[in-house]
Amino acid sequence: MNDRLQPNDRLPQPAGSTVCRLLFSLAPCVVLMVLPVAGIAQTPAKAPPAHYVPAPAFDTASMDTSVNPCDDFYKFSCGNYAAHHPIPSDQAGVDQFYTLYNVDTQDLNGILTRYSAPNPDRTPNQQKIGDYYAACMNTALINQKGLTPIEPLLHQIDDVTKPGLPSLMGELQRDGVNVFLSFGEQQDFKDSSKQVAAVDQGGLGLPERDYYTRTGAKDQQIRAEYLQFVARMLTLGGESSADAQRDATNILAFETKLALASMTNTERRDPEAVYHPQPLATFEQSIAPMDFAPFLDAVHSPKIDSLINASPKFFPAMEAAIQSADMDTLRAYLRFHVLSSFASQLPQAIDDEDFNFYGHELRGIPAQRPRWKRCSSAVDGALGEALGQVYVEHYFAGDSKQKTLQMVHDIEAAMDQDIDTLDWMSPATKLLAKQKLHAVTDKIGYPDKWRDYSKLIVSPTEALGNDERATAFENDRELNKIGKPVDKNEWGMTPPTVNAYYDPSMNDINFPAGILQPPFYDPNAGLAVNYGHIGAVIGHELTHGFDDEGRKFDAKGDLSNWWTPSDAANFKARTSCVVKEYGSFVAVPGATAKDNVMVNGKLTLGEDTADNGGLVLAYIAYLDRARKEGIDIHKKIDGYTGPQRFYIAFAQNWCENSRPAAIRQQVLTDPHAPDHFRANGAIVNQPGFAAAFGCKKGSPMAPAQNCRVW
């Protein structure tokens, strides 16, 4: 599933997961897969020339100082960014995250190139990451093998009957091909000390359910393109073009039935809506006459007698759709998803076709990322903690961890103060809010204990086999947690990841080493700039514990209502202001107002709340830290005071230049508003901003009416 806008798309996401990330990974992982072929020489993996450099922490060149900061702060801070940062042909856009991703991937590639040469002195982990990379880079061998690596799966699909489907579904899911539904492990929302099985809707080839149902010329065009894409993939998989056309039409009709029974992204923001614990027998009744036991065996689930059903209305409809479909359609559906899931480790024609739809058609990207980037990301996805261990030794040195931890503590102290000042919350709820705040675990850089990959076999000549084994290894590791105590030290992102997250069931905030680099954190940048950049990111993750989803979980990480009814009503009144504000942003202008693609304020509410609250907290923390260290915040550097530099640094987190097609897909699928709305969207609500820039009350960036939650 190459180049789809999905976070960690190789790693199974727990069903109904509510993990809140700073942003979706802009660097989708590459999916691979093959059988051993003896006697084929390896093409040595060549490193690209180093050409990516970190962005400056305080970027005066990107500012447009002809703009009044009180009129449009994004334009003031980032107005020249797009002119200086044309979008590279292999990217959906360029922004601070992608720039750091490129630097980071270049660093990873250096490590991987070194270990990809056969050398008896390599440690077992060095052998695995090096050989995984070498196999992935060897496109000559991948092309030479053709469809051979997936032939066993294709034969199973040819032979499958309806009673045999569940077993094949389980096997495919274990290999990372998510057909019909998704099955995984999660912490029980209402008892976070328990790890339980969970089942969720799934099985779509388009990005999410509304792509099948929305009317309008653009969506009709996407569905027409999808149909042709599916047909071409089936042809490349060996069908005649007449059969492929017929099958593609039937696949779209079949997936549309799954889509119609699926919940929307916005509905899924309510944790109660995706939490339906059931005895296994009850779930099995909902999909009768399908027999679920062979699925559980094939996916390597431990024995279970209950599960969390995230989307109960989906399953009877899924079963009805399967019953009413003919076997030719179901087999073609499975074949298509196998080809697409493994496209990046299959011959180039298939890889190109998959990119052409998911990258070019849906997101407007002209060219595929170069192979070395995709393979570096693939190793990070498959062996992230083996690669990450080497990465942090080289690129997370010195006192970065200590310095970041101090900022985290400052921002937690700021939230403690902030809760005291809230005029809309009762003392009883404040007490519980503080209890939750004090229970947050801070995780910085990398895990204390590294994951053990000793049982994962990696070959230098089996790109697709490596991928299949790594996916199955991760699937088994996840499912093996069911019924066991929670490992609080576990990370949900790899150390090189340029992102961060809050996990409500763990009640922890997590900042991988990958994001603790310039421009987000720069040891030489000074307080104001670092608190504006990474400080706001830390505040963002912390505030997720108290956004529309996070506030429903308590200090232990359990879904339980700790709010008085009137405090909950006050919270909702305040967040409805935020929904309205962001819902008024035009993301992609249309020919007429009715064709405008708007930001969905309901979908982005959690992220917007986190951006706004996070910036308030980072500012309080910055002022406190400056006071403690005797730093004169009024002293100008580059012509700006400390508070001004703080806010400019924050806005520059969101400098971007993106393709309209990519923004369109983001707005329709992603709970994060497009980057540049995240600057002004939060700035207009900041109590400290108007004073820092001398903005008159009533100016566009200091409106008389604004929104404030935290």
* Residues lying near Zn ion in the complex (CB under 5 A): 20, 22, 607, 610
Q: How far is the CB of 591 from Zn ion (least distance, A)?
A: 33
Q: How far is the CB of 546 from Zn ion (least distance, A)?
A: 12
Q: How far is the CB of 544 from Zn ion (least distance, A)?
A: 5
Q: How far is the CB of 20 from Zn ion (least distance, A)?
A: 5
580 burial level (CB within 10 Å; 0-12, 13-18, 19+): exposed
Give the gyration radius of the chain's Cα atoms.
Answer: 25
Q: How far is the CB of 22 from Zn ion (least distance, A)?
A: 5
For the beta carbon of residue 264, count every other beta carbon within 10 angstroms.
14
Q: How far is the CB of 672 from Zn ion (least distance, A)?
A: 7
The DSSP H or E segment spanning 183 is strand 181-188
Closest of 228, 220, 214 to residue 260, by C-alpha:
214
Q: Which is nearer to Zn ion, 181 or 673 (CB)?
A: 673
Q: Which is nearer to Zn ion, 465 or 674 (CB)?
A: 674
Q: How far is the CB of 539 from Zn ion (least distance, A)?
A: 11
Closest of 509, 510, 536, 539 to residue 521, by C-alpha:
536
Q: How far is the CB of 535 from Zn ion (least distance, A)?
A: 15
Q: Which is nearer to Zn ion, 3 or 549 (CB)?
A: 549
Q: Which is nearer to Zn ion, 70 or 509 (CB)?
A: 509
Assess contact for 515 and 103: CB atoms under 8 A: no
| 443: its two tokens | 């995780």
455, 642, 645, 649 from 622: Cα distances, Å: 47, 9, 11, 13
Closest of 98, 12, 5, 30 to residue 381, by C-alpha:
30
Q: How far is the CB of 193 from Zn ion (least distance, A)?
A: 25
Q: Which is nearer to Zn ion, 362 or 610 (CB)?
A: 610
Q: Is 463 left (phi over 0), alpha (psi -120 to 50) or beta?
A: alpha
Q: Which is nearer to Zn ion, 373 or 436 (CB)?
A: 436
Amino acid at 182: S
Q: How far is the CB of 493 from Zn ion (least distance, A)?
A: 13
Three-state secondary-structure class, residue 586:
strand
Q: Which is nearer to Zn ion, 20 or 141 (CB)?
A: 20
Q: Which is nearer to Zn ion, 22 or 157 (CB)?
A: 22
For the beta carbon of residue 79, count every other beta carbon within 10 angstroms.
17
Q: How far is the CB of 411 from Zn ion (least distance, A)?
A: 15
The DSSP code sequence of 523-559 is TTS-HHHHIIIIIHHHHHHHHHTTSTTGGGB-TTS-B
Q: Which residue has the tokens 């969390």?
A: 308
Q: Which is nearer to Zn ion, 27 or 290 (CB)?
A: 27
Q: How far is the CB of 606 from Zn ion (least distance, A)?
A: 7
Sheet holding 277-279, edge to edge: 181-188, 191-201, 306-309, 277-279
Q: How far is the CB of 673 from Zn ion (least distance, A)?
A: 11
Q: Which is nearer to Zn ion, 60 or 441 (CB)?
A: 441
Q: How far is the CB of 677 from Zn ion (least distance, A)?
A: 14
Q: Which is nearer to Zn ion, 468 or 607 (CB)?
A: 607
Strand partners, 445: 512
Q: How far is the CB of 501 from Zn ion (least distance, A)?
A: 7
Strand partners, 308: 198, 277
Q: Which is nearer to Zn ion, 558 or 607 (CB)?
A: 607
Cis peptide before 28 (omega within 30 of 0): no
Distance between CA atoms of residues 354 and 63, nearest Å: 38
498 burial level (CB within 10 Å; 0-12, 13-18, 19+): buried
For 501-512, the three-class secondary structure string (H helix, E strand, C coil) is EEECCCCEEEEE
Q: Which is nearer to Zn ion, 62 or 604 (CB)?
A: 604
Give the angle subtended at the CA of 530 by the CAs of 524 and 531, to the nearest 5°: 150
Closest of 450, 454, 444 to residue 389, by C-alpha:
450
Q: Would you mind telling me the total number of residues written for the chain in this entry?
A: 710
Q: Which is nearer to Zn ion, 354 or 611 (CB)?
A: 611
Distance between CA atoms of residues 517 and 508, nearest Å: 21
The DSSP H or E segment spanning 444 is strand 441-445
Q: Which is nearer to Zn ion, 247 or 607 (CB)?
A: 607
Give CA 275 to chain center in angstroms: 21
Q: Is 526 left (phi over 0), alpha (psi -120 to 50) or beta?
A: left
Three-state secondary-structure class, residue 195:
strand
Assess contact for 4 and 377: CB atoms under 8 A: no
| Residue 691: half-sphere exposure toward Cβ, Cα within 13 Å | 7
| 91: its two tokens | 């990217």
Amino acid at 317: A
Sheet holding 508-512, edge to edge: 20-21, 501-503, 508-512, 441-445
Q: How far is the CB of 482 from Zn ion (least distance, A)?
A: 27
Q: Characterize 469-483 residue by residue with b for buried, 16 or more Cβ atoms within 10 angstroms of its Cβ, and e for exposed.
A: bbbbbbbebbbebbe
Closest of 601, 595, 615 to residue 674, by C-alpha:
601
Q: How far is the CB of 568 from Zn ion (least distance, A)?
A: 22
Closest of 677, 89, 675 to residue 360, by C-alpha:
89
